[in-house]
Amino acid sequence: MTQDTSPQAIDALLPEVAELIISALNLDLGADEIEADAPLFGDGLGLDSIDILELALVISKRYGFQLRSDNEDNIRIFSSLRALAAHIASQRTK
């Protein structure tokens, strides 16, 4: 499968990834309430390291690739919804 990492493809993936975050973490908000460029940690969505581990597991099952805890790019990958969607778009096998 060819990965489409164009800005349009990433924008199209944003609602799907937002829904995945909400369902995986049982968050009480709508997908449109997660700003694409707001931080997922801290002041933004307020996720913590346990949330990211849970999310990484769901992403690996859904999109067919592993997110490793020892990856030095994790801070960048999980920095925002847009960054996460871009990484998924570039790595997905499903």
First to last CA, the chain: 8
Spell out a b/e string for 32-71, using b for 16 or more CB atoms within 10 Å of the CB, else e. eebebeebbbeeebebeeebbeebbeebeeebeeebeeee
Confidence at residue 44, expressed as pLDDT on a 0 to 100 scale: 86
Confidence at residue 2, expressed as pLDDT on a 0 to 100 scale: 54
Contacts for 56 with CB less than 8 Å, ≥ 6 apart? 67, 69
The pTM for the full model equals 0.92
Confidence at residue 70, expressed as pLDDT on a 0 to 100 scale: 86
Residues of the chain whose pLDDT is less than 70?
1-2
Q: Which fold has domain 7-91?
A: 1.10.1200
